[in-house]
Amino acid sequence: MFGTRERAHVLIDTYGRVATDLRVSLTDRCNLRCTYCMPEEGLQWLAKPDLLTDDEIVRLIDVAVTSLGIKEVRFTGGEPLLRPGLVGIVERAAALQPRPRLSLTTNGIGLKRTAAALKAAGLDRVNVSLDTLRPDVFKALTRRDRHQDVLDGLDAARAADLTPVKVNTVLMPGLNEDEAPDLLAWALEHGYELRFIEQMPLDAQHGWKREGMVTAGDILAALNTRFELTPEGAGERGSAPAERWLVNGGPQRVGVIASVTRPFCAACDRTRLTADGQIRTCLFAREETDLRGALRSGAPDEEIARIWRLAMWGKKAGSGLDDPSFLQPERPMSAIGG
Ligand code: SAM
Ligand code: SF4
């Protein structure tokens, strides 16, 4: 597919997959405590000196865009809106050539205040996480009473034209598992694109259980009771993690990211950078490759690019979730960057 010359400028692995989508974690900290992600207390945060500085982050994005073929950059965390330099980082990333598409995954708290500035800085769109329409369930799920703040953040994102605004939802047994149709009706009404994400074994407290988890099959069965769903672009899922359906003939859609029951590893196009400068080839990888050390010891861009390419070359075929020997990675989702 690629000649030797082209290979030098892309992140290709031994299975022929090419990573063009970079997830950048800006912090491991958060102002919520979603039960599927973090414990109420006791999580060890990354030490400040270990975090990449704003300059270091922008430099790595620059290398990724100019030397490694990255076309999309998604800022995430932890909660990326907690990063003080976020607007400046977005602005500098938007000035890179070729300009990457820029998006942000956020819990929405604080978006009311920052949406317009982020748009002006060059952010293209946002994914906002919201699991429930019920304030009491929100409080139980996130351990914080901030439901209205998220709704306000969503409104602000739409008003600032950070569109399409996508909403990420994780359904949890016994808490919000019955809300799929209500959430979809609400998303259609507000013009948000809803995507359900299967709960994955990436929580800091290692509490995930396959038994009882709400699966893509459960979600689709629930949605089918109220909506007519037509698969969109059957057989064309490509590297998009979400399988998408047109709702009631379209044009609005709903997505399901079934990382556990319908994995899409063969088409994965992602590479990840943690807030402390480690490359991860996969959410479920147990190995990381250090870029911070190279950066801080004065390595030139070509050397950084070489280390990154080598790391991606070693990407495994799949997440290993179905393997009986599967072991959850040391780092939780909040520290990897979801
Ligand atoms: N704090 C931001 C947020 O919540 O959107 C960004 C980081 S969060 C780790 C990114 C996404 O991962 C969110 O949509 C969240 O719901 C999802 N997530 C977190 N833990 C998860 C888990 N164990 N399984 C599936 N999705 C998870
Ligand atoms: Fe925070 Fe996002 Fe994890 Fe919830 S899912 S605790 S909002 S990082």
Predicted confidence (pLDDT) per residue in 268-303, tens digit: 999 999 999 999 999 888 889 999 999 999 999 999
Q: Contact 71/21 with Cβ under 8 angstroms?
A: yes
Verify cis geometry, omega within 30 degrees of 0, for the bond prior to 251.
yes
User: Closest Cα to residue 64, out of 283, 267, 275, 291?
Assistant: 291
pLDDT in tens, 134-185: 999 999 999 999 999 999 999 999 999 999 999 999 999 999 999 999 999 9
Task: Please name the residue ranges forming H helices in 95-215.
Answer: 111-121, 135-142, 147-159, 180-190
Is the distance from the beta carbon of residue 106 to the nearest atom of ligand 1 less than 6 Å?
yes
pLDDT in tens, 306-329: 999 999 999 998 887 777 777 777
The pLDDT-based confidence of 330 (bands split at 50, 70, 90) is confident
CA of 220 to the centre of ligand 2 (A): 24
Residue 75 has pLDDT above 70, yes or no: yes
Atom number, ligand 1, closest to the C-alpha of residue 168? 14
CA of 338 to the centre of ligand 1 (A): 5
User: Closest Cα to residue 214, out of 170, 245, 255, 183?
Assistant: 170
Which of 35-39, 143-147, 207-211 shows the highest mean pLDDT? Answer: 143-147
Which superfamily does CATH assign the domain made up of 4-336 to? Answer: Aldolase class I (3.20.20.70)
Residue 29 has pLDDT above 90, yes or no: yes
Question: Taking residues 82-91, what's their average pLDDT?
Answer: 98
Distances (CA, A) of 57 to 53, 99, 332: 6, 16, 21
The ligand placed nearest to the CA atom of residue 168 is 1
Atom number, ligand 1, closest to the C-alpha of residue 169? 16
Distance from C-alpha of 133 to C-alpha of 46, rounded to nearest angstrom: 32
- Angle, alpha carbons 19-24-25 (nearest 5°): 140
CA of 1 to the centre of ligand 2 (A): 39
Mutate which of 197, 213, 214 for ligand 1? The one with the most ligand atoms within 8 Å of its CB, which is 197
Residue 236 has pLDDT above 90, yes or no: no
pLDDT of residue 3: 58
pLDDT of residue 187: 98
Tell me which H or E stretch contains 272.
strand 270-273
Beta-bridged to residue 103, according to DSSP, are 74, 125
pLDDT of residue 306: 97
Query: Is residue 36 annotated as involved in ligand binding?
Result: yes
pLDDT of residue 70: 98
Give one word for 193, left, alpha or beta, with left for phi > 0 and alpha for psi -120 to 50.
Answer: beta
Query: For the chain, what are the domain ranges?
Result: 4-336
Residue 253 has pLDDT above 90, yes or no: yes
Residue 54 has pLDDT above 80, yes or no: yes
Is the distance from the beta carbon of residue 106 to the nearest atom of ligand 2 less than 6 Å?
no
Mutate which of 23, 74, 129, 203 for ligand 2? The one with the most ligand atoms within 8 Å of its CB, which is 129
The ligand placed nearest to the CA atom of residue 26 is 1
Atom number, ligand 1, closest to the C-alpha of residue 336? 9
Atom number, ligand 2, closest to the C-alpha of residue 105? 2
What is the DSSP code (8-state) at residue 52? Answer: P
Taking all residues of the chain, what is their mean pLDDT, rounded to a whole number?
A: 92
Q: Which residue has the tokens 């995507």?
A: 195
Query: Is residue 312 annotated as involved in ligand binding?
Result: no
Distance from C-alpha of 5 to C-alpha of 310, rounded to nearest angstrom: 16
Is the distance from the beta carbon of residue 38 to the nearest atom of ligand 2 less than 6 Å?
yes
CA of 300 to the centre of ligand 2 (A): 35
CA of 75 to the centre of ligand 2 (A): 14
Which residue's CA lies nearest to atom 13 of ligand 1? 129
Task: Please name the residue ranges forming H helices in the chain.
Answer: 4-7, 54-67, 86-94, 111-121, 135-142, 147-159, 180-190, 216-224, 292-296, 301-313, 333-336
Is the distance from the beta carbon of residue 169 to the nearest atom of ligand 1 less than 6 Å?
no
CA of 37 to the centre of ligand 2 (A): 6
The one-letter code for the residue type at 64 is A
Q: Contact 14/313 with Cβ under 8 angstroms?
A: yes
> Quick one: what percent of the chain has pLDDT higher than 70?
96
Distance from C-alpha of 108 to C-alpha of 303, rounded to nearest angstrom: 37
CA of 292 to the centre of ligand 2 (A): 25
